[in-house]
Structure 1
Amino acid sequence: MVAVGFFAASVVATVRNRDGLPYQLSAIVVLILLLGFQIVHAGPWRLERIWWPWSLFVHGLLTYLPILVFDGSWVGIPGSFAGSVLLTVAAPRSWISFSALAVSQYPLCAVLGGTFGQCVNAVVSTVVGGIVVYGVARLADLTAELREARTELAERAVDQERLRFARDLHDLLGYSLSVAALKCQHAERLAVKDPKLAQEKISEVLVMVRQAMADTRWISSGDFQMSLARESRSAASALRAAGISVEVELLCGALQPDADAVLATVVREAVTNMLRHSVPRQCRIRAVRDDVGAVRLTVSNDGVPAAGVPGEPSGGRGIDNLTERLLAVGGQLTARKGEFGWFHLSAVVEAAAVRPQADRPGPLVPPRAA
């Protein structure tokens, strides 16, 4: 629209300043060509062309050569060409060339017989016209970039939320379903020998399933917050129910919510993998804080199979999820096989000490099923 406006104003000025149909028609034809070059050099596609120096050269010829025919009536035309220079030539050469074009308007106008005021007006017209063309084109570029950035941010936010939901769902339900499956297997073995005890195990499974459903609803809201102490107690209870000896030692004190949640996730994932891939007799959960404030959590068990370190089945995301969570809080995860068939999963988090739980609002936790 700006280019067309310049074109219309130039046509009116040229027609009014020159008599004769041949002059007027030839001026209109040249102005139409200049309009085309202006649009070519101002559009977003200009950045994808490798032949712009030649098109800019032709644009310059069509801008300055007609001065030999139209004299002073053509002096205001170079403004659009100066804008094309700003848009196509890389900085700082573009601004140097633009300044040279603006300054050259004064002697050019003087040679054509213009007065001091007319020559100054020619310089000002070139500067203003070039900056307007450049500014409007850049504004369009920035608007397009802003729209692309907004779309990208929206897509990234959706991806992050999807990953969060998938990660939380895996970390929460993987543990619950593993323990539920273990209890169901135990109940199946007791169904004939001790039906009453088997019924108790089924009731426990029902409670866990209801709790998993409640936790899933809280995950979808984004307010779910896990606790290392609570998850350690829950894991110890589940492991003892499976006949595994458990030692829990938490000497890290109060933790920041982010560190507390990620360490709780480590405990849950470690116990889930232990129940799925190992046959342990003993398990140790220990968290300590060193002198510089870093918290080290280690979950160990003696159930490593003879084939080596237990791993996840094909397609498992547990360890990857833990690694991503720890990286997000500046931590790291290590897994190693120790002596006598022990396996150690360790997580280190830089966690500053916080006030006691009673002095600050507690994290939102899912309601416990009755």
Structure 2
Amino acid sequence: MVALGFFTASVVATVRNRDGLAYQLTAVMVLLVLLGFQILHAGPRRLERSWWPWSLLAHGVATYLPFLVFDGSWVGIPGSFAGSMLLTVATPGAWLLFAALVAGQYPICAGLGGTPGQCLNASVSTVVGGSVVYGVARLAELTAELRAARTELAERAVDRERLRFSRDLHDLLGYSLSVAALKCQLAERTVLEDPQRARAEISEVLAMVRQAMSDTRWISSGDLRVSLTRETRFAASALRAAGIGVEVELDQGTLPPEHDAVLATVVREAVTNLLRHSAARRCVIRAGRDELGAVSLLVSNDGVPAENAPQEPGGGQGIGNLTGRLLAVGGRLTAQEGESGWFHLSAVIAARPVGERPGAG
């Protein structure tokens, strides 16, 4: 629209300054050519064309050559070419050439018989015309970039939310369903021999399912409220039901909610993997603080699987999820095999400096 506005104003000014149909048609045709060059050099893909220097040169020739025919009536036209120069040539060269075009407009006007006032006006017109063309084209580009950035940010937010939902769902239901299935199998085996124990196992399954349903409602809000103490209690119950000896030692004290939830998830994932993939007979869960206030959690078991032992399908996400969760709160995760077939999963969260808010940094 700006280019069309300049074109219309240039046609009116040029045609008004001299009579004659041939003159006027020639002026309009040349101005149409300049309009095409202006749109070409102001477009978003102007520099993708390898031949843009030649088109810019042609634009300059089409701008200044008509001075030989239209003389003083053409002095307001070079502003379009000055804007194209700013849009295509790299800085600082573009601004040096722009300054040269502005300075050269005065002697051109003077050579065509213009008064000092007219020549000064011609130079000012070149400055204004070139600046407006450059400014409007850059504004359009910045607006397009802003829209693209806003769209990208929205897509990233959606991706992060999908990842969070998938991670929470995996961490929550993977563990709950595994333990519920294990306890149901135990109840099935003992229903005839020990109905009382079977009834107790079914009661625990019902309590676990109700808790899982409650936790699931929190997934959509991103505020999954779990605690290390509660998850360790559930984990110990599940392990004992599977015939695995459990040793629990929790001395972590009161934790910030986000730290408590992350460490609870570590216990949940570690026990889920233990029940699915190992032949453990013993499991140790310890949590505590060091002298600097850092919280550490260690989950160990003696059931490292054989080198070629089959793995259940669907595994593989848990460790990655835990690593991401711990990094988000300034922690780290370590998984390694020890001596005598023991496997150790360790999570450490550094002490938060006094006065630091959750999520800071």
Q: Could you state the TM-score of these two structures normalised by the residue count of structure 1?
A: 0.90
Q: What is the DSSP-based 3-state SS (H/G/I as helix, E as strand, rest coil) of the residue aligned with 2:220? A: helix
Q: Which moved more, 1:293-302 or 1:76-85?
A: 293-302
SS of the equivalent of 2:46 reads helix
Deviation string for 1:275-324 (max 9, x for gaps)?
11123222111223334443322110112234389976455311111122
Cα distance between partner residues in 1 of 2:254 and 2:341: 33
- Asked if the contact 1:256–1:351 (Cα under 8 Å) also holds between the matched residues in 2, the reply is no
Task: Say which SS state the counterpart of residue 336 (structure 1) adopts.
Answer: strand
Q: Distance in 2 between matches of 1:148 and 1:74?
A: 40
Residue number in structure 1 paired with 2:54? 54
Taking a change above 3 Å as real, the CA distance of residues 126 and 353 of structure 1, as seen in their structure-2 partners, is: closer
Equivalent residue of 1:345, what SS? strand
* Alignment partner, residue 367 of structure 1: none
Partner of 2:162: 162
1:82 lines up with 2:86 in the alignment = no
Q: Which amino acid aligns with 1:99?
A: A
Aligned-residue sequence identity (percent) comes to: 75
What is aligned with 2:12?
A: 12
How much does 1:106 deviate?
A: 1.1
1:121-132 mapped onto 2 (5 Å cutoff):
121-132=121-132
Distance 1:315 1:46, change over 3 A: farther
**Where does residue 236 of structure 2 map in the other structure?**
236
Deviation at 1:256, TM superposition (A): 3.1
Q: Please list, as runs of the form range in 1=range in 2, the aligned pairs for 1:105-254 lying within 5 A after superposition.
A: 105-254=105-254
Deviation at 1:141, TM superposition (A): 0.6
Q: Which moved more, 1:98-107 or 1:202-211?
A: 202-211
In the other structure, the counterpart of 1:299 is 299
Distance 1:54 1:312, change over 3 A: farther
Post-superposition shift, 1:351? 3.2
Deviations 1:318-337 (A, max 9, x none): 11111222222332222111
* 3-state SS, counterpart of residue 9 of structure 2: helix
Cα pair distance change 1:106/1:50, threshold 3 Å: same
Which residue of structure 2 aligns with residue 284 of structure 1?
284
Q: Is the 8 A contact 1:106 1:123 kept in 2?
A: yes
* 1:183–1:202 CA contact under 8 A, matched in 2: yes
2:268 alignment partner AA? R
More divergent stretch after superposition (130-139 vs 220-229): 220-229
CA contact (8 A) 2:186 2:241 kept: no
Please give the alpha-carbon distance, in whole angstroms, between the structure 1 residues aligned to 2:224 and 2:147.
Answer: 33
8 Å CA contact 2:183–2:238 kept in 1: the answer is: no
Question: RCO greater where, 1 or 2, for CA within 8 Å and sep 6 or more?
Answer: 1
Return the letter of the residue paired with 1:62.
Answer: A
**Do residues 333 (structure 1) and 337 (structure 2) align?**
no
Give CA-to-partner distance per residue, 1:120-155, whole Å, 9 cap, x none. Answer: 111110011111111111111111111111111111
Taking the aligned partners of 1:327 and 1:258, their CA distance within structure 2 comes to 12
Change (3 A) 1:224 1:354: farther
User: Residue deviations 1:180-214, cap 9 Å, x none?
Assistant: 01101101111232334323322322222222122
Query: In terms of mean alpha carbon deviation, does 187-196 or 160-169 score higher?
Result: 187-196
Provide the aligned C-alpha RMSD in A: 2.1
**1:167 CA displacement:** 0.2
Alpha-carbon distance in 2 for matches of 1:252, 1:199: 34
Match for residue 349 of structure 1? 349
Structure 1 residues 289 and 100: alpha-carbon distance in aligned structure 2, compared to 1, 3 A threshold: farther
Are 2:44 and 1:66 equivalent residues in the alignment? no
Which amino acid letter does the alignment assign opposite residue 77 of structure 1?
Answer: I
Judge which range, 345-354 or 212-221, deviates more.
345-354
- 1:52–1:104 Cα change, 3 Å: same
> Given the superposition, is the C-alpha separation of residues 50 and 312 from structure 1 closer, same or farther in structure 2, using an over 3 Å criterion?
farther
Report the 3-state secondary structure (helix = DSSP H, G, I; strand = E; otherwise coil) of the residue aligned with 2:191.
helix
List gaps (5 residues or longer) in structure 2. none
What one-letter code is carried by the residue in structure 2 that aligns with 1:211? Q
Assess if the C-alpha contact under 8 Å between 1:274 and 1:280 holds in 2: yes
Match of 1:44, SS? Answer: coil
CA drift at 1:35: 0.4
Q: Taking structure 1 as reference, are residues 101 and 179 closer, same or farther at Cα in structure 2, changes over 3 Å only?
A: same
Q: Give, in whole Å, the separation in 2 of the partners of 1:288 and 1:45.
A: 61
Amino acid in the other structure paired with 2:218:
W
Cα offset for 1:267? 1.1
For the residue of structure 2 that corresponds to 1:50, the secondary structure is coil
> Any conservation in 2 of the 1:293–1:351 contact (CA below 8 Å)?
yes
User: Once the 2 structures are TM-superposed, how far is the Cα of residue 32 of structure 1 from its aligned partner?
Assistant: 0.3
Q: Which amino acid aligns with 2:50?
A: I
Q: Contact 2:218–2:225 at 8 Å: present in 1 too?
A: no
Structure 1 residues 72 and 161: CA distance shift in structure 2, 3 A: same
